[in-house]
């Protein structure tokens, strides 16, 4: 059982302290050990990043972009290897792993447009012979803390853009599936990144706290659960850092009576059960407007849920793999029991699934609840498993009120052909990412990702234009040159240009 290494200052670094096991959730076996960095190790990474900053900051954005162009090539060349690693440690299918990598690469593409996206604004003659412009300069050392569910994509939301903006980066990936993350980071170094600009440190709360407390770390990007997001936002901002902390979700899909139901069912199947629902953009609630839609939906879903092809993620042609850990399997199963007890109708029960040859794996079949009500725990909390809840309402307005009343506001979507319904929904729903007939409205890399309410803490969303603003600080310059022949009087009053 090999031990994974940190990547600090361009070198793989062995740690001598605490470790954790990394499992293959399809077999239930521990396959690697991952070190849990001490504060000293984190500081080593910070020191490397700090040392690399002055030269990297002064590297023209167009040159920094060249590294991103090469990084994209290397990622594409290593797609199969990366997908295999993701699947082995996370459990998601190979196709799903390749899919997340692809979306991650789109962020590398966006970062390769560094000279374009870093442009400031220039104003000639803000006053007589006075010019002004804005410049977006890097912050220095910034850090990212990323979750298990997208070991490739979520880190790629962060560091390519941060680095293209001229920062140096410390990444603390999830300790549950760190191998693909580490390989990807190493590929960026191979692409020509100067040493120390990107550093990967594995760890747990000790490492996180070290990053929060280090005065050299100027900004923190986090994706994970809401309690931790809130903790990091409060602790980071208390120390004067800028923080964007993305948390939990409970994403509703509204099905209108005029929805194209066959397509909506296809969409929902993927959005609810893909990656076992372990996605912050997964659809976990289907809100049906009218019983007719609900009944038809259930009728179409049940056979498809029962037909889900489930197995070891690293096999081909599957729909779902296992959940990520044994603990998480227990937790999700607990929610299913809780929903039954609360009176929801468990239409499909995925518990007790055994996969031949993978008996130790953390498998759970797709579950479907009907007649779920807003007071139930399975409605209020994020389950993060292959469990879809159907709530029945009488109108679009009622559906929207339900969504607006929920504490989370990450993603949502509506299935309809009707322009008026779609426009009303897009306009007034209090959710940051909205799909119209798009079940997982993850914005493309040149827009930005972020939820509202308790799904995101911070002013600026992740990646895209907001990401650029997050990873830079604005400098405003106002300039005039002395005119040879003029002597100006003192101006004691507040100046207008």
CA distance 48 to 141: 10
User: 131, 190, 198: which is closest to 162 by C-alpha?
Assistant: 198
| Binder among 40, 55, 60, 359 for its own copies (CB under 8 A) | 60
**Cα dihedral value 313, 157, 246, 39, nearest 10:** 90
Give residues with Cβ within 8 angstroms of 18, minimum separation 6. Answer: 35, 36, 38
DSSP state of 462: B
Closest CB 90 distance from its own copies, rounded Å: 12
Contact 113, 65 (CB under 8 A): yes
- Per-residue x/- track, 147-186, its own copies (CB under 8 A): ------x---------------------------------
67 burial level (CB within 10 Å; 0-12, 13-18, 19+): buried
| Binder among 38, 65, 194, 375 for its own copies (CB under 8 A) | 65
Closer residue to its own copies (CB): 6 or 461 = 461
| Phi, psi of 273, rounded to the nearest 5 degrees | -110, -15
| 194 near its own copies (CB under 8 A) | no
| Binder among 45, 46, 118, 403 for its own copies (CB under 8 A) | 118
| 134 near its own copies (CB under 8 A) | yes
Closer residue to its own copies (CB): 292 or 483 = 483
| Binder among 91, 155, 450, 467 for its own copies (CB under 8 A) | 450
Residues numbered 290 to 309 that lie near its own copies (CB under 8 A) are 304
| Binder among 124, 352, 354, 405 for its own copies (CB under 8 A) | 124
CA distance 48 to 199: 8
Closer residue to its own copies (CB): 62 or 374 = 62
| Binder among 7, 253, 344, 431 for its own copies (CB under 8 A) | 431
| Binder among 30, 40, 80, 234 for its own copies (CB under 8 A) | 234
Out of 280, 367, 389, 413, which one is annotated catalytic?
280
| Binder among 11, 12, 80, 127 for its own copies (CB under 8 A) | 127
| 246 near its own copies (CB under 8 A) | no
Closer residue to its own copies (CB): 358 or 416 = 416
Closer residue to its own copies (CB): 36 or 108 = 108
| Phi, psi of 297, rounded to the nearest 5 degrees | -65, -50
Q: Which two tokens stand for residue 275?
A: 């990656």
- SS3 for 256? coil
| 375 near its own copies (CB under 8 A) | no
| 62 near its own copies (CB under 8 A) | yes
Return the number of other C-beta atoms located less than 10 Å from residue 405's C-beta.
9
- Per-residue x/- track, 324-363, its own copies (CB under 8 A): ----------------------------------------
- SS3 for 310? strand
Contact 325, 332 (CB under 8 A): no
Q: Which two tokens stand for residue 227?
A: 């309690």
Closer residue to its own copies (CB): 316 or 356 = 316
288 as an active site residue: the answer is no
CA distance 379 to 406: 9
Contact 214, 46 (CB under 8 A): yes
Where does this chain touch its own copies (CB under 8 A) — which range of 123-131, 178-186, 198-206, 325-333? 123-131
| 55 near its own copies (CB under 8 A) | no
CA distance 56 to 281: 35
Contact 267, 415 (CB under 8 A): yes
Strand 367-370 vs strand 19-24: parallel, antiparallel, or unpaired? unpaired
Where does this chain touch its own copies (CB under 8 A) — which range of 28-36, 114-122, 173-181, 331-339? 114-122
| Binder among 3, 129, 327, 373 for its own copies (CB under 8 A) | 129
| Binder among 79, 131, 213, 216 for its own copies (CB under 8 A) | 131
Unique residue bearing structure tokens 């936002």:
233
E strand or H helix at 23 = strand 19-24
Residues with a known catalytic role: 280
């Amino acid at each position: 059982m090999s031990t994974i290494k940190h990547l600090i200052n361009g070198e793989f670094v062995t740690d001598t302290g605490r470790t954790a096991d990394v499992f293959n959730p399809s077999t239930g076996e521990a396959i690697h050990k991952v070190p849990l960095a001490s504060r000293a190790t984190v500081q080593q990474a910070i020191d490397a990043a700090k040392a690399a900053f002055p030269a990297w900051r002064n590297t023209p954005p167009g040159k920094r972009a060249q590294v991103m162009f090469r990084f994209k090539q290397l990622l594409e060349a290593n797609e199969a290897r990366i997908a295999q690693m993701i699947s082995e440690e996370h459990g998601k299918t190979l196709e799903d792993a390749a899919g997340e990598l692809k979306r991650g690469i789109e962020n590398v593409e966006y970062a390769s447009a560094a000279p374009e996206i870093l442009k400031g604004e220039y104003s000639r003659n803000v006053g007589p012979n006075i010019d002004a412009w804005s410049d977006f300069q890097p912050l220095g050392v910034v850090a990212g803390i990323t979750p298990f569910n997208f070991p490739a994509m979520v880190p790629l939301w962060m560091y390519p853009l941060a680095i293209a903006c001229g920062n140096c980066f410390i990444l603390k990936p999830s300790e549950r599936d760190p191998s693909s993350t580490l390989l990807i980071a190493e590929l960026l170094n191979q692409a020509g990144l100067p040493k120390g600009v990107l550093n990967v440190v594995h760890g747990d709360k000790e490492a996180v706290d070290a990053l929060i407390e280090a005065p050299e770390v100027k900004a923190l990007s986090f994706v994970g659960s809401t309690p931790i997001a809130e903790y990091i936002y409060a602790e980071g901002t208390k120390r004067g850092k800028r923080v964007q902390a993305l948390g939990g979700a409970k994403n509703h899909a509204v099905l209108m009576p005029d929805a194209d139901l066959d397509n909506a069912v296809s969409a929902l199947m993927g959005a609810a059960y893909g990656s076992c629902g372990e996605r912050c953009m997964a659809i976990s609630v289907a809100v049906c407007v009218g019983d007719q839609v609900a009944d038809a939906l259930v009728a179409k879903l049940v056979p498809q849920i029962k037909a889900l092809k489930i197995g070891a993620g690293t096999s081909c042609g599957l729909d779902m793999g296992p959940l990520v850990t044994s603990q998480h399997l227990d937790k999700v199963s607990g929610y299913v029991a809780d929903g039954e007890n609360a009176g929801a109708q468990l239409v499909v029960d995925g518990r007790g699934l055994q996969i031949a040859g993978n008996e130790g794996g953390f498998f759970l079949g797709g579950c479907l609840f009907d007649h779920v009500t807003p007071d139930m725990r399975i409605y209020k909390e994020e389950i993060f498993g292959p469990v879809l809840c159907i709530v029945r309402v009488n109108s679009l307005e009622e559906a929207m009120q339900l969504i607006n009343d929920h504490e989370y506001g990450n993603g949502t979507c509506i299935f309809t052909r009707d322009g008026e319904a779609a426009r009303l929904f897009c306009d007034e729903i209090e959710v940051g990412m909205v799909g119209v007939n798009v079940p997982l409205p993850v914005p493309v890399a040149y827009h930005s990702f972020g939820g509202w309410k308790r799904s995101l803490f911070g002013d600026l969303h992740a990646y895209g234009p907001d990401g650029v603003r997050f990873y830079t600080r604005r400098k405003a310059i106002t300039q005039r040159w002395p005119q040879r022949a003029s002597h100006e009087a003192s101006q004691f009053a507040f100046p207008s240009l």
